[in-house]
Amino acid sequence: MNLNELLIVISVLVSLWSVYNSSLALIGLSWRPSERKSHTGPSFSLLIPARNEGKVLGRLLERLVNQEYDRSKYEVIVVEDGSTDDTLQVCQNFSKMYTTVKCIHLEPASVPNGKSRALNYALSEAKGDIIGVFDADSVPRLDTLAYVAGKFDANPRIGAVQGRLVPINVRESIIARLASLEELFNEYLISGRAKLGFFVPLEGTCSFVRRDVILSLGGWNERSLTEDLDLSLKIASMDYLIAYSPSVISWREVPVSFWGLVKQRLRWYRGHIELAFPVGRMKISWRLIDAGLLIATPIFMALSVANYSLVFLYPSQLHLVVAALVSLASILSFFLSLLISKRHMIETVYVILTAGYINLTIFLNVLSIFMELVGMPKTWVKTERSGKVTIELGKGG
């Protein structure tokens, strides 16, 4: 096989992967399942790892203490981990007013993933049947626990539930708009996976796991940059289902600055690469293949550079077929971005700008692969929050 043939093979594989993802996202975009609520049922321990989250922690706690669920059936545990702002004070103010809120202070420690360390400590204090995890910038609907309880009650094979994440600060900057389009694409991609019964990953916030399941796995991996995906694979290896609920909605912040975006994405992309995929106990199925395609996202993104080489290849019938496939993948992706932008009121011009943004993500994926190959130190970099956007309390809102 010569170089030209190799580039064509790579372009075909990347384009098929892109069409596959866009098709799943289109399915997810139209999925409207009927889901039931349960206002009492399993008990919950809601864990919030927080470091320098004073701007946003109060916003989250206000939503959690007002959940439309039996107040005797849930607790909120905030683990403040070496903050230099008023995070601990914000938590203590709530704990004085609400007996359901508990504050824990941890001194900083040198581990790659401080979030996992905080979660593991909180897990040792948790009493609930279901362990919920929220990042401090999350803003969940008031009926979140009611819908999650309904999911767990419906099927004992469900080991975890992931809610739908929606950007709350889309209009805060140009970067926020572009990052929102990327994250919403991934969100509908997960929704499509769930609709078809494929692999559903946990996303690190608005995530819920049965307590006995997480304890049997030894908690969260403190050495992994993406502890949520690592946990998802382990749960799947136990033959539990991870359910996705479009009715369980939580808003969250996206990066508003260029460097904030770069740091977050490098951690995410590198976290995919570092995972040791636990296939030993997973049944061979399309769910397993789909999980592999998800984990291999940075590799496919890096290989997409081959598409740019098509213009240099000598025109042939095969070349035209490949070019048509690449064009189909691009058109489908653009059409999907347009639908997402309309649904979430993002100006159309930013859909056009995603062409340049995709090149940035390709570069960051290549860089993340390089960082992993050369063994660069792993550091869990916290994403800065602005806390400028608020949502008023209301029925389910």
Confidence of residue 222 (pLDDT cuts 50, 70, 90): confident
Confidence of residue 100 (pLDDT cuts 50, 70, 90): very high
What is the structure's pLDDT at 72? 94
Count of domains forming the chain: 1
What is the structure's pLDDT at 395? 45
Question: Is the pTM here over 0.95, yes or no?
Answer: no
Whether the pLDDT of residue 260 is over 60: the answer is: yes
What is the structure's pLDDT at 322? 74
Q: What is the pLDDT of residues 184-210, one digit of tens each?
A: 999 999 999 999 999 999 999 999 999
- Supply the range of the domain harboring residue 133: 36-173+198-255
Whether the pLDDT of residue 397 is over 80: the answer is: no
More confident residue, 290 or 162: 162
Q: What is the CATH number of the domain that holds 145?
A: 3.90.550.10
Whether the pLDDT of residue 281 is over 60: the answer is: no
Whether 386 maps to a domain, the answer reads no
Q: Mean pLDDT, to the nearest integer, of 1-20?
A: 84
Comparing 148-162, 185-199, 245-259, 281-295, the range with the smallest average pLDDT is 281-295
What is the structure's pLDDT at 83? 86
What is the structure's pLDDT at 141? 96
Q: Mean pLDDT, to the nearest integer, of 116-133?
A: 95
Whether 116 maps to a domain, the answer reads yes
> What whole-number percentage of the chain has pLDDT above 90?
65
Whether 96 maps to a domain, the answer reads yes
Confidence of residue 300 (pLDDT cuts 50, 70, 90): very high
Per-chain mean pLDDT for the chain: 88
Q: What is the pLDDT of residues 62-90, one digit of tens each?
A: 999 999 999 999 999 999 988 889 999 99
Whether the pLDDT of residue 389 is over 60: the answer is: yes
Q: What is the pLDDT of residues 348-387, one digit of tens each?
A: 999 999 988 999 999 999 999 999 888 888 777 777 787 7
Whether 313 maps to a domain, the answer reads no
16 Cβ contact list (under 8 Å, min separation 6): 325, 329
Q: What is the pLDDT of residues 171-184, one digit of tens each?
A: 999 999 999 999 99
What is the structure's pLDDT at 391? 64
Whether 273 maps to a domain, the answer reads no
Whether 167 maps to a domain, the answer reads yes
Whether 290 maps to a domain, the answer reads no
What is the structure's pLDDT at 61? 97
Whether the pLDDT of residue 150 is over 90: the answer is: yes
Confidence of residue 283 (pLDDT cuts 50, 70, 90): low
Q: What is the pLDDT of residues 308-345, one digit of tens each?
A: 766 555 565 566 677 778 888 888 999 999 999 999 99
Q: Mean pLDDT, to the nearest integer, of 102-114?
A: 80
Whether 155 maps to a domain, the answer reads yes
Q: Mean pLDDT, to the nearest integer, of 94-118?
A: 87
Q: Mean pLDDT, to the nearest integer, of 235-253?
A: 93
178 vs 181: CA distance, rounded Å: 5
Whether the pLDDT of residue 218 is over 60: the answer is: yes
Whether the pLDDT of residue 280 is over 60: the answer is: no
